[in-house]
């Protein structure tokens, strides 16, 4: 069984509805495998929490259709239902044809779509909207509607009768306006699930609302009316670890594709979790991976953990291999400016970082690998994404090299990204490991001492 939860536009309530469906279905004893369309880390953290299974990303910018289909099937192994949360509007993509849209994902996977309608200040017009989406692309099957933000029973009744009369589609449920199941957000979207356990109560409230207001039996019947997909490749037993690879994974650093961590394990890494807020020293590791997150929100606590900052700086100076993305780059800086105050970071890289009120880089990226490095092959085109409000300042360009030439995106300055310093690669580009299998193998090989990099020091 499989379904796509989509909407006419962003901020319609897709994530709230999807989370509630997962919670409600799990209470029925079903195993739900969540997926998120697009390069997103925050929504998947909530979907993972709700489902008890790692949420996986589906993105036709990263994977061609046949690989995406295999990835979906493999991810659904052991699950009763694959539930995909869309991104933006259903047909919003990278070009006029809507490539890489949620609709393209649904078409590729032959997956029915449940359309979430934000019903604020609308009655009969909702039917016209649904009818337009219903007829826009014959390759996409819209199978039902869920109403969100319904004001009162009379409002719901008019919406239901209008949609069902003019479109023939069933209205599967209606979620009333209520603050109990609104998840707080900030500049990159929702607050990551790992940051604040007190707001996890929103999941419980949302699940209860879905169970009370959505026809789950009808929805599951729709999800079951799908053709079989080819099975994905069988999961392989990871080899015996060759190296111990440290991962900053805590409230400040939460942005990791599960596929990246799995790729590292398949390449021979034992992943060792490090809490940047509480651990006072580095464990016995051969390399370090610092992903993205919100280090600026926890800058005071990161600064207070002096011993770990010094340990990271010392490890970089001694030649430990380090791969860092966005938030990781910020932690490796000398200082971080946030809301008018400077905070000391690790000082491992010769640069500072300052936060801006506007995004400095936002969207898909394409990076050309220039020069030699042990991380990625010269001449490779690296597809990724970036979403950052920080920018690098006071960079000593004489002390570093750059791995990437920006072809799409912004990176460090609109021209380059991927700072090489000692045995460190740090940049704003978030790489998706299944698209570039050599990354994991090379990082593990570097940590094992099998690959060399020209040392650059001050």
pLDDT tens-place string over residues 339-377: 999 999 999 999 999 999 999 999 999 999 998 899 999
Confidence class for position 182, pLDDT limits 50, 70, 90: low
Same domain, 204 and 347: no
- H or E element in which residue 216 lies: helix 216-224
Please tell me the least confidently modeled range out of 182-191, 229-238, 247-256: 182-191
pLDDT higher than threshold 90 for residue 239: no
Instruction: Domain count for the chain, please give it.
Output: 2
pLDDT higher than threshold 80 for residue 193: no
Write down the pLDDT at residue 10: 92
Same domain, 284 and 346: yes
pLDDT higher than threshold 80 for residue 90: yes
The mean per-residue pLDDT over the stretch 384-410 comes to 97
Please give the sequence-ordered ranges of beta strands (E in DSSP) within 389-438, or none if there are none. 390-393, 401-408, 416-421, 424-427, 430-431
Please give the sequence-ordered ranges of beta strands (E in DSSP) within 212-304, or none if there are none. 243-248, 253-255, 269-274, 287-290, 292-293
**Of the candidates 95, 163, 104, the residue with the CA atom closest to the CA atom of residue 137:** 104
Examine residue 84 and state whether it is found in any structural domain, yes or no: yes
- CATH number of the domain that 123 lies in? 3.40.50.300
The mean per-residue pLDDT over the stretch 60-75 comes to 96
Same domain, 180 and 218: yes
Please tell me the least confidently modeled range out of 1-10, 237-246, 308-317, 434-443: 237-246
Same domain, 419 and 290: yes
- CATH number of the domain that 314 lies in? 3.40.50.880
Examine residue 421 and state whether it is found in any structural domain, yes or no: yes
Whole-number average pLDDT of the chain: 93
Catalytic residues: 326
From the centroid of its chain, how far is CA 448?
A: 29
Q: Does residue 308 contact residue 284 with C-beta atoms inside 8 Å?
A: no
Same domain, 210 and 253: no
Examine residue 457 and state whether it is found in any structural domain, yes or no: no
Same domain, 191 and 257: no
Q: Does residue 329 contact residue 288 with C-beta atoms inside 8 Å?
A: no
Give the end of a domain, one of 224, 256, 276.
Answer: 224
Q: Which range of residues forms the domain containing residue 437?
A: 243-447
* pLDDT per position as a tens digit, 136-167: 999 999 999 999 999 999 999 999 999 999 99
Q: Quick one: angle between helices 216-224 and 14-27, nearest 10?
A: 90
Same domain, 274 and 318: yes
Same domain, 220 and 249: no
Same domain, 216 and 262: no
Most confidently modeled range among 178-187, 224-233, 435-444 = 435-444
Examine residue 230 and state whether it is found in any structural domain, yes or no: no
Same domain, 196 and 326: no
Give the end of a domain, one of 197, 224, 251.
Answer: 224
Same domain, 64 and 124: yes
Most confidently modeled range among 92-101, 105-114, 169-178, 370-379 = 105-114
pTM of the prediction?
0.92
Write down the pLDDT at residue 281: 97
Write down the pLDDT at residue 183: 58
Same domain, 115 and 172: yes
């Amino acid at each position: 069984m499989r379904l796509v939860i989509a909407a006419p536009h962003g901020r319609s309530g897709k994530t709230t509805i999807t989370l509630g469906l997962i919670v409600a279905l799990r209470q029925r004893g079903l195993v739900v495998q969540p997926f998120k369309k697009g390069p997103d880390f925050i929504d998947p953290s909530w979907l993972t929490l709700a489902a008890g299974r790692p949420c996986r990303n589906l993105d036709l910018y990263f994977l061609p259709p046949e690989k995406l289909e295999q990835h979906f099937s493999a991810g659904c192994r052991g699950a009763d239902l694959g539930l995909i949360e869309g991104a933006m509007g259903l047909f919003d993509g990278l070009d006029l044809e809507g490539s890489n849209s949620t609709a393209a994902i649904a078409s590729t996977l032959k997956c029915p779509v449940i359309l979430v309608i934000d019903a604020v200040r609308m009655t009969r017009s909702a039917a016209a909207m649904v009818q337009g989406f219903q007829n826009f692309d014959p390759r996409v099957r819209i199978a039902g509607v869920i109403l969100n933000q319904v004001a009162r029973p009379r409002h719901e009744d008019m919406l239901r009768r209008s949609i069902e009369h003019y479109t023939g589609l069933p209205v599967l449920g209606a979620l009333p306006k209520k603050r109990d199941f609104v998840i707080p957000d900030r500049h990159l979207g929702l607050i990551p699930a790992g940051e604040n356990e007190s707001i996890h109560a929103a999941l419980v409230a949302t699940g209860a609302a879905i169970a009370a207001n959505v026809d789950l039996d009808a929805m599951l019947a729709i999800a079951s009316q799908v053709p079989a997909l080819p099975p994905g490749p069988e999961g392989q037993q990871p080899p015996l670890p060759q190296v111990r690879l440290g991962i900053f994974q805590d409230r400040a650093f939460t942005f990791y594709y599960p596929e990246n961590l799995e790729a590292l394990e398949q390449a021979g890494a034992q992943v060792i979790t490090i809490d940047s807020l509480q651990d006072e020293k580095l464990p016995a590791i051969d390399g370090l991976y610092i992903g993205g997150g919100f280090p600026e929100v926890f800058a005071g606590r990161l600064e207070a953990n002096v011993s770990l900052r010094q340990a990271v700086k010392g490890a970089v100076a001694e030649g430990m291999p380090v791969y860092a993305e966005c938030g990781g780059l910020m932690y490796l800086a000398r200082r971080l400016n946030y809301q008018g105050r400077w905070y000391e970071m690790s000082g491992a890289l010769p640069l500072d970082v300052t936060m801006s009120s506007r995004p400095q880089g936002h969207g898909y990226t394409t990076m050309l690998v220039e020069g030699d490095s042990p991380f990625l092959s010269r001449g490779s085109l690296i597809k990724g994404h970036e979403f950052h409000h920080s920018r690098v300042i006071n960079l000593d360009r004489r002390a570093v090299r750059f791995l990437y030439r920006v072809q799409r995106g912004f990176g460090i300055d609109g021209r380059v990204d991927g700072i090489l310093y000692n045995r460190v690669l740090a940049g704003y580009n978030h790489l998706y490991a299944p698209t570039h299998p050599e990354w994991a193998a090379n990082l593990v090989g570097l940590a094992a001492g099998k690959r060399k990099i020209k040392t650059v020091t001050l």
